[in-house]
Amino acid sequence: MSENISVLGLGLMGAALAESLLAAGHRVTVWNRTPSKADPLVAKGATVATTPAEAVEAGGLVIVCVLDYPAVRQVLEDASLTGRVIVNLTSGRPSEAGAMASWVAGRGADYLDGGIMAVPQMIAKPGALILYSASQTAFDRYERTLAVMAEARFVGTDPGMAALLDLAMLTGMYGQIAGCLEAAALVTSARYPLKEFTASLLVPWLNAMAALQVHWAAAIEAGNHATEVSNLEVNRAGMESLVAAFREQGVKPDLLLPLKAVIDQRTARGLGHEGLSGLVEEL
Ligand code: FVH
């Protein structure tokens, strides 16, 4: 079914979202603070609005994707939101999502907050995921339409949940990046071919380790950190040796030191017999 959809914010991500909706045959109205960014979309069949209010008027479903939440508020400030479903795909904090949900509800609209787990080039392609939270009614009404942009997953009625899970996924990613950069520095210090190390050793190892995370999650939920693998004392000694090896190679272990500090803290409490999952209690 073809819907009337408005997209406000035509940066790299907003433009990709609008383009995917146009390609799926929806009637798309677009607005951007810098008007020229609408031109390529107009060439593909979009209607351009000259103000945010005009754009909101045109769409039952209103997608906003701008820099940050203060910009979302500025964009929607002078528009009449009554009866609309506002889908905010701007990245932000859970508290910002909660405040935005209240503000939008106070203006007579339904609200979905979204966390985009994709880069613009992935939109409308397999692998792209958008997490949604807040109004179940709005999600159910527009699920098939939203799925045009990326797999659409509703994660609960708490408006901040999509933002929180988005941040949690980015956190996992940054942790992996930190480890990979340290590994790259160490391997490079020994003049071993880095691409070969990464493809044939590091990536398969990380995939095997990633598969264990679900077991860790179960241990954390159960509060049971007993281990038959390697306990914290073994990891404490291993980390001590790792950091010493980095220094001997002339490589800074700076991204590993915060993890070492938490391991040291936990073992100093006499919990060296536990597994690494117990570190979550320190956090
Ligand atoms: N690009 C990505 O890979 C990531 C993937 C994950 C989610 N993010 C978030 O998406 C939001 C938009 O990101 P973007 O990539 O589209 O960013 P830009 O290309 O820099 O475009 C920014 C747009 O925001 C408009 N804008 C900025 N400030 C205001 C304002 N005060 N009032 C109205 N619009 C504003 C800007 O307009 P203009 O500069 O073209 O006039 C662009 O349309 C973001 O939350 C990412 O974290 C993307």
CA distance 8 to 76: 9
Tracing tokens 């914010």 back to the chain, one arrives at: 9
Q: Using a CB cutoff of 8 Å and minimum separation of 24, what contacts does 38-44 make? A: 38/10, 40/15, 41/10, 41/15, 44/19
74 lines ligand 1 (CB under 6 A): yes
- CA of residue 65 to ligand 1 center, whole Å: 6
Output the pLDDT for position 207. Answer: 96
Pinpoint the alpha helices (H) of the chain. 12-23, 39-43, 52-58, 69-76, 94-105, 136-146, 161-189, 194-197, 203-211, 213-222, 232-248, 257-268, 279-282
d(CA 38, CA 223): 52
Residue for token pair 């960014």: 37
Pocket test for ligand 1, best of 13, 78, 125 (most atoms within 8 A of CB): 13
Mean pLDDT, all residues of the chain: 97
CA angle 257, 212, 228 (to 5 degrees): 85
* Cα–Cα distance, 150 to 119 (Å, whole number): 11
User: In whole angstroms, what separates CA 20 from the centre of its chain?
Assistant: 20
Per-residue model confidence (pLDDT) at position 229 = 87
- For residue 275 and ligand 1, the question of a CB distance below 6 A is answered with no
Residue type, 72: V
CB 265 within 8 A of CB 279: no
| pLDDT tens profile 220-264 | 999 999 998 899 999 999 999 999 999 999 999 999 999 999 999
For residue 36 and ligand 1, the question of a CB distance below 6 A is answered with no
Which 8-state DSSP code applies to residue 172? H
Closest residue by CA, ligand 1 atom 17: 11
Q: Is 90 exceeded by the pLDDT of residue 101?
A: yes
Q: Is the pLDDT of residue 58 over 90?
A: yes
Which of these, 59, 125, 122, lies nearest to 86 by C-alpha position? 59
The mean per-residue pLDDT over the stretch 55-71 comes to 98
pLDDT attached to residue 151: 98
Q: What is the pTM for the complete model shown?
A: 0.94
Contact 111, 138 (CB under 8 A): yes
The verdict on the CB of residue 86 being under 6 Å from ligand 1 is no
Give 1's pLDDT tier (boundaries 50, 70, 90): confident
Task: Give the torsion through C-alpha atoms of 83, 88, 94, 95, to 10 deg.
Answer: -60
Over residues 8-37, mean pLDDT = 98
Residue 245 · residue 190 · CB < 8 Å = no
Chain segment 147-204, per-residue pLDDT in tens: 999 999 999 999 999 999 999 999 999 999 999 999 999 999 999 999 999 999 999 9
